Amino acid sequence: MNEWNLDALYTSFQDKNFQEDLNTLKDLNKNYPTYRSEKTEASLHKIIETKIEIEKRIERLHFFIQLSLSAHTDDAEATHYLDQLNNITASMIGEDIKNNAYIAEFDLDSCQDPFIQEHAYILHEIKNKQKYVLDEKEESIIAHMKNTGSYAWMKHKDAVVSSIKVNIDGYDYPLTKVLNMAHSPDKQTRMKAYFAELDAYKPYEETIATCLSGIKGEVLYTSKLRGYESPLEESCIKSRLKMETLNTLLSVMKKNMPEIREYLKIKADYLGYQNGLPWFELYAPVVEDDEEYSFEKGSQFVIDQFYTFSKHLGDFATHAIKNHWADVYPRENKVGGAFCENIRSLKQSRFLFNYGNHFSDVITVAHEFGHGFHGRCLGDQTILNTHYPMPIGETASNFCETIVGKGALKSATPTQKIVILENTLSNAIQVICDIYSRFLFESRFFEARKQGPVSAKETKKIMLQAQIEAYGDGLDHNYLHPYMWAWKPHYYDPDYSFYNYPYAFGSLLAKGLYARYQKNPEHFPEDYETFLSVTGKMDLEDIAKTLDIDLTDESFWQSSIDIIKEDIDTFKMLLEEYKHD
């Protein structure tokens, strides 16, 4: 079974439990005024309990709807209920604002109730964020308008992109299948897929650009209205990340760009290119990988490597496969990419892949299962204490990638080692160069959007400039990708701007954690699970301190990038040996 099973949520939209949960939301929300009538710890306790019950129901409803739409973007019933749920949650904003103002009146450090103390971090965060909250009427208007504004633009973009057909040699392919062709061992296939993909966007480019402009315009306005200096500052505050930490990370990345690009130059030289690597060769295998990794084979390999780290990690992945938590292969009207959703109220996860039987797909499985294991480690927390910020959310996923990649190297032949290292370095290029280009693109797009809607032509120009600056002489500037903004979903989420630097943060933090695991393999797995279990109730800098890591210290990030440099040196050596065999 290669499609996920959602029955643990609901069996259908007509399931009586689905309808009851939908109808119960408003009833629960009506209880708040009674609880707020007295300023007592008992009343605050009841408010927290009710918030938890409401959030559990919203989570179940949202994931059933959203997962249904991700697997079948043309599901009209799911679209209908998404609008209905958005309208219900928008109508609840007023009570939420009053609750938060009520919470802010308490001297939280003096509260004796253990249940309140258990939620001290999130309550303090609510109190501290009050300065960014508008009055009840304004927040309610914004919430309702988003349903016909940014959320509508986001849904429209998803529907448009998922419907795009790419014509290659007279045959129409779904976009997701064409994206997988970038990994083909055949150069002509890669080239045809690249040019056909770019051509396929052209009829839709203004529509997609309009969606992006609509969303970013709304973000700029609401961010300023709430008192943030910029969407980037808002992103850092939501990420529980100091700007100092982000600047340290970006500075170290930028400083190491020239040496990281050496991988691209090595690959370009080996494949016979003189002016840098063309975009369509980014994922070209430099050596023939005869092995195909079916999902059954690939997922079992992931499970086996997970067990070398800990029984808990291996058991989690085994359970996920056996219980059909994954939607595996690409198909028409299915969203692209890959993701994990942790359904905290059920202590379960669901995984979407567009699996293409390559080793890189095996690594993607490890990545998404890492997200799922993160959710599992939060299983003993209440749902309010499980909302970890974006950057730390990419740590467990990248850590699991490293486990599988390093494990694969141990038993690999010299040729297989090249394949594995190439995949590792390809991901590193994504984390360093591509993520930096995305950060530059989004920063500059926001600046352009301040002047008015941004055309597709200008959007492509901004993207190309960002790619040239990030990839430098590692890529052939005649063959870049001006439409990378068109299908990447991260740019279109109005609630989370700059969903790019979290990948760099998570990947480089994960490499640092893996180095610590190697020094202490017996005890680190337990420390690691403890580390993940507190990620929903601490600032990022404090989470790192539980493992004696200082995120504002350049030397920590440099030590992680040094691991990538070592891999580049090894890759170069193995490739030289392979050429002379």
421-455 residue pLDDT tens: 998 899 899 889 999 999 999 999 999 999 999 99
Low-confidence ranges of the chain (pLDDT < 70): 1
Q: In what order do the strands lie in the sheet with 326-327?
A: 326-327, 348-352, 339-343
**Model pLDDT, residue 579:** 82
Helix (H, G, I), strand (E, B) or coil at 11: coil
Fill in the amino acid letter for 549. Answer: I
What is the dotted CATH code of the domain comprising 16-147?
1.20.140
**Model pLDDT, residue 113:** 97
CA-nearest of 395, 387, 492 to 438 is 492
| HSE, side-chain direction, 13 A CA sphere, residue 72 | 11
Helix (H, G, I), strand (E, B) or coil at 388: coil
What whole-number distance in Å separates Cα of residue 552 and Cα of residue 563? 19
Structure tokens at 146: 């988003």
**Model pLDDT, residue 266:** 96
- pTM equals 0.85
Q: Report phi then psi at 552, rounded to 5.
A: -95, 5
**Model pLDDT, residue 485:** 97
Q: Where are the domains of the chain?
A: 16-147, 154-288+430-492, 295-418+505-580
What is the secondary structure of 220-281 as a DSSP string?
HHHHHHHT-S-HHHHHHHHTT--HHHHHHHHHHHHHHHHHHTHHHHHHHHHHT-SSSB-GGG
**Model pLDDT, residue 68:** 97
What whole-number distance in Å separates Cα of residue 402 and Cα of residue 335? 26
**Model pLDDT, residue 24:** 93
Pairing type for strands 339-343 and 326-327 reads: unpaired
**Model pLDDT, residue 1:** 62
**Model pLDDT, residue 578:** 87
